[in-house]
Amino acid sequence: MKNFLEYIKEKIIVFDGATGSTLQTYNLNPDDFGGKDLEGCNEYLCKTKPDVVKRLHSYFLEAGADVIETNSFGSTSIVLNEYNIANMDYELSRKSAELAKQCAMEFSTNAKPRFVAGSIGPTTKLPSLGHIGYDEMTESFYRQMMGLFDGGADIFCIETCQDILQTKSALSAAMRIFREKRKKLPVITSVTVETMGTMLMGTEISAALTTLEPYDIIDVIGMNCATGPKEMEENIRYLCQNSPKPVFCMPNAGIPENVGGKAHYQLTPEEMEKWMTLFTHELGVNVVGGCCGTNAEHIKRLSSVSERFTPKERKFEYSPSLSSLYSIAPMTIEPPPVLIGERCNANGSKQFKELLVKEDYDAMVNMGKEQIKEGAHVLDICVAYVGRDEARDMAEVVKRFNTAVSIPLMFDSTEVNVIETALKLYAGRSIINSINFEEGTKKADKILALAKEFGAAVVCLSIDEEGQAYSLEKKVSIAKRIRDHAVNVHGMREEDLIFDTLTFPLGSGQEDLRNSGMNTINAIREIKKIMPKAKTILGISNCSFGLNLKIRHVLNSVFLHYAIEAGLDMCIVHAGKIMPLYKIDGRGREICRELIFDERKFQEL
């Protein structure tokens, strides 16, 4: 049989129509569901009424669907628990795949193969609102997916996502299954954008794409449910213009209207055909199907669209970005640099440290918000404080910042478990700050594995077994070594690595640090030359440690200026305190320049 991912290149793929609203037309009674307590549990029909489930599949296969979805939307323990049958998750999931597979096989021919997509719904819990923890949710998805895999599903369809953390959790489960089974299935992830134009949690489509795009286990990305095609147009257009992966679109038959207490869907098969012709032929959607309210007539029309058009070649532009739960921030901006707020750091701000000790999380969130007002594009978060439980503090902070802060976060910790805790609570695409080769690759390997599992970008410090790099050669050679390891061993992309050539205090009087500023800046230039896709970053304020406050702001600003000139992409700063060069008097500028480039003139004066 043809491979699904090959097939998608030659044909617009047609999924089936609505499961729930079609089952409703069969007028099932409580006995069909296995009793009053289980009424409405569609997934349980796989056990009590397998013939009804097969009838549903055959109905859509006859209409021309290339792919049918298993009757397993809510077959996780999380959802089944509401019917007190949580422990039937594996069995029902497996059965749903077996039934769908039997039907697909009956219809499958060489000319028109039919596939089974395991339906993985969002469950009934929103992890970003703290309804459930990441590990518990992942375990639940794992059991459902294992059933679908063992029952013969050809594809995993992680669909109707309302909170991107649900999708991340399902992806963690899928990665575990593919590792254990030594076999990967194609994965589709599909989010639901409500009528207000964002996902239920407030996520814009650009943020959803940015968060999911780095996952290489995802093969197809798209949208389903909530609205009809008309309301989806702008977001589908965005995906088609920006997604490197094939695009999936399964609208409802319009927005449901309440008719006599029942949901009523108005979009006709003709209207569906008209919209999907636009989406496939003009925008370049690759996979179509119907969600709530769509019946065999809708699917027949989609089949005819698929017969008339071959997949459109899309031109897209994509450069990796960062995201919060809500929106995106690019990893490079014009003019540079991306400003990363430094103040939510227990070691870098007395105020933040005191708030942490008081556990005044609202005030900590406010410090984050203040930095946004001052111009920060991203926030560095560091809660390391001797005598406190860093992982616990990170959890408390990330939980709140995830929903309360609109810009992406960077997690600043040397502890693997602290980074992991943060990633499991954060819905966006973050930066991990940082890795180094102080212990060889040992610790870096653990953090890079986390970066891959959660799609995060990573700051790489020029530190190896011999310690921090001071010379230009050493700064660059460590960066190259980390790049080779991250790319070749872990499958990271060069563009997701952010090199930090280290900022040392310039005004300390320490003889061995005299040329460190210059080396740091020259190393940036060199790294940008040999790794053009990689990004660079500096913790600018380190350069002025120990000096008086007014001078610090001047030196920080001048140091930043020269680093940008050398190609710096991002900097960790107090954004409100950075001055443009023209606001610094000539003499101040010159003294700072001499200090940075170690010209020693000031000694002769």
- When CB distances to ligand THG are compared, the closest residue is 539
CB 29 within 8 A of CB 35: no
69, 500, 526, 569: which one binds ligand THG (CB under 6 A)? 500
Q: Give residues 278-297 in contact with ligand THG (rule: CB under 6 A).
A: none
Tokens 């902070």, residue located? 397
Structure tokens at 326: 């809500």
**118 lies in the site for ligand THG, by CB under 6 A:** no
Could you list the beta-strand ranges (E) of 164-323: 187-191, 220-224, 247-250, 257-259, 262-264, 287-288, 321-323
- Helices marked H in 243-349: 269-277, 296-308
Instruction: Between 63 and 572, name the residue whose CB sits nearer to ligand THG.
Output: 572
CB of 575: closest distance to ligand THG in angstroms? 12
Distance, CA of 577 to CA of 558 (rounded, Å): 12
Tokens 């049989």, residue located? 1
**345 lies in the site for ligand THG, by CB under 6 A:** yes
Q: Give residues 555-594 in contact with ligand THG (rule: CB under 6 A).
A: 572
Instruction: Between 286 and 503, name the residue whose CB sits nearer to ligand THG.
Output: 503
**542 lies in the site for ligand THG, by CB under 6 A:** yes
- Among the listed ranges 22-30, 299-307, 357-365, 538-546, the one in contact with ligand THG (CB under 6 A) is 538-546
Instruction: Between 292 and 538, name the residue whose CB sits nearer to ligand THG.
Output: 538
Instruction: Between 325 and 572, name the residue whose CB sits nearer to ligand THG.
Output: 572
Closest by alpha carbon to 461, among 538, 347, 514?
538
- Among the listed ranges 60-68, 343-351, 465-473, 591-599, the one in contact with ligand THG (CB under 6 A) is 343-351
70, 227, 295, 541: which one binds ligand THG (CB under 6 A)? 541
The CB density around residue 166, as the number of other CB atoms within 10 Å, is 28
Instruction: Between 140 and 501, name the residue whose CB sits nearer to ligand THG.
Output: 501
H helix count then E strand count, the chain: 22, 23
CB 555 within 8 A of CB 508: no
- Among the listed ranges 147-155, 192-200, 325-333, 536-544, the one in contact with ligand THG (CB under 6 A) is 536-544
- Among the listed ranges 316-324, 340-348, 436-444, 526-534, the one in contact with ligand THG (CB under 6 A) is 340-348
433, 462, 516, 536: which one binds ligand THG (CB under 6 A)? 433
Distance, CA of 400 to CA of 366 (rounded, Å): 11
Could you list the beta-strand ranges (E) of 256-389: 257-259, 262-264, 287-288, 321-323, 328-330, 338-341, 378-381
**390 lies in the site for ligand THG, by CB under 6 A:** no
CB of 357: closest distance to ligand THG in angstroms? 14
- Among the listed ranges 70-78, 84-92, 288-296, 537-545, the one in contact with ligand THG (CB under 6 A) is 537-545
Closest by alpha carbon to 151, among 38, 52, 81, 72?
72
**341 lies in the site for ligand THG, by CB under 6 A:** no
Q: Give residues 396-425 in contact with ligand THG (rule: CB under 6 A).
A: 412
**186 lies in the site for ligand THG, by CB under 6 A:** no
- Among the listed ranges 165-173, 345-353, 387-395, 585-593, the one in contact with ligand THG (CB under 6 A) is 345-353
Number of residues counted as binding ligand THG (CB under 6 A)? 18
Site string for ligand THG, 299-338 (x = CB under 6 A): ----------------------------------------
Distance, CA of 578 to CA of 570 (rounded, Å): 14
**434 lies in the site for ligand THG, by CB under 6 A:** yes
The CB density around residue 306, as the number of other CB atoms within 10 Å, is 21
The CB density around residue 65, as the number of other CB atoms within 10 Å, is 28
**342 lies in the site for ligand THG, by CB under 6 A:** yes
Write the DSSP assignment of 2-59 as a string of letters: --HHHHHHHS-EEB---SHHHHHTT---TTTTTSGGGTT-GGGHHHH-HHHHHHHHHH
CB of 508: closest distance to ligand THG in angstroms? 13
CB of 405: closest distance to ligand THG in angstroms? 18
What are the residues whose beta carbons fall under 8 Å from the beta carbon of 585, sequence distance 6 or more? none
Instruction: Between 225 and 422, name the residue whose CB sits nearer to ligand THG.
Output: 422
Distance, CA of 140 to CA of 209 (rounded, Å): 24
Instruction: Between 200 and 506, name the residue whose CB sits nearer to ligand THG.
Output: 506
At 295, which amino acid appears? N
348, 368, 428, 455: which one binds ligand THG (CB under 6 A)? 348
How deeply is 400 buried, as exposed, middle or buried, from its count of CB atoms within 10 A (0-12, 13-18, 19+)?
Answer: middle
What are the residues whose beta carbons fall under 8 Å from the beta carbon of 238, sequence distance 6 or more? 205, 206, 209
503, 516, 519, 557: which one binds ligand THG (CB under 6 A)? 503
Instruction: Between 157 and 405, name the residue whose CB sits nearer to ligand THG.
Output: 405
**459 lies in the site for ligand THG, by CB under 6 A:** yes
What are the residues whose beta carbons fall under 8 Å from the beta carbon of 545, sequence distance 6 or more? 505, 507, 508
CB of 450: closest distance to ligand THG in angstroms? 17
Measured in whole angstroms, the distance separating CA 43 from the mean position of its chain's CA atoms is 29
The CB density around residue 489, as the number of other CB atoms within 10 Å, is 13
Instruction: Between 84 and 351, name the residue whose CB sits nearer to ligand THG.
Output: 351
Instruction: Between 325 and 458, name the residue whose CB sits nearer to ligand THG.
Output: 458
Q: Give residues 27-46 in contact with ligand THG (rule: CB under 6 A).
A: none
CB 135 within 8 A of CB 172: no
CB of 433: closest distance to ligand THG in angstroms? 5
**508 lies in the site for ligand THG, by CB under 6 A:** no
Distance, CA of 344 to CA of 360 (rounded, Å): 13
CB of 211: closest distance to ligand THG in angstroms? 22
CB of 345: closest distance to ligand THG in angstroms? 5
Structure tokens at 534: 């990689």
Structure tokens at 233: 């147009």
349, 403, 406, 515: which one binds ligand THG (CB under 6 A)? 349
CB 433 within 8 A of CB 348: no
CB of 557: closest distance to ligand THG in angstroms? 14
| Binding positions for ligand THG, rule: CB under 6 A | 342, 345, 348-351, 380, 412, 433-434, 459, 500, 503, 537, 539, 541-542, 572
